[in-house]
Amino acid sequence: MDVRIQAIHFDIAEKLENFINKKVERLARHNVNISAVDVTLKVVKPETAMNKEAVVKVMVPQQDDQVATKVADSFEEAIDLCMEAIERQLEKKKAKK
């Protein structure tokens, strides 16, 4: 599984990168065919509280891509929310089969 992390207009801390990689690895439990995961992080409206946006896109061959976009106080919280949404989407796909 290929994990690409993109931080827009800021440098990502190694701690945050490790956190994201750990969370993304858990997705393999839901679908072993995941080929790539794109994570995009950006700060929207820097002067407000809820300003950390995370977009997680999961690519699975021969299936639609699963995408989740969440905004929260911290990137960790936004990533957690995205992972929950992606896991629900993957479970729903698995149930349809």
Q: Can you give the residue ranges of every domain in the chain?
A: 2-96
pLDDT in tens, the chain (97 residues): 899 999 998 899 999 999 999 999 999 888 888 999 999 999 988 778 889 999 999 998 888 899 999 999 999 999 999 999 999 999 988 887 6
* The pLDDT value given to residue 55: 97
Selected from 3.40.50.11540, 3.40.50.300, 3.40.50.2000, 3.30.160.100, the CATH number assigned to the domain covering 2-96 reads 3.30.160.100
pTM of the model: 0.91
Strands 2-8 and 36-43: parallel
- Helix or strand run (H / E) with residue 87: helix 75-96
**Number of neighbouring beta carbons within 10 Å of residue 97:** 4
Which amino acid is residue 38, in one-letter code? D
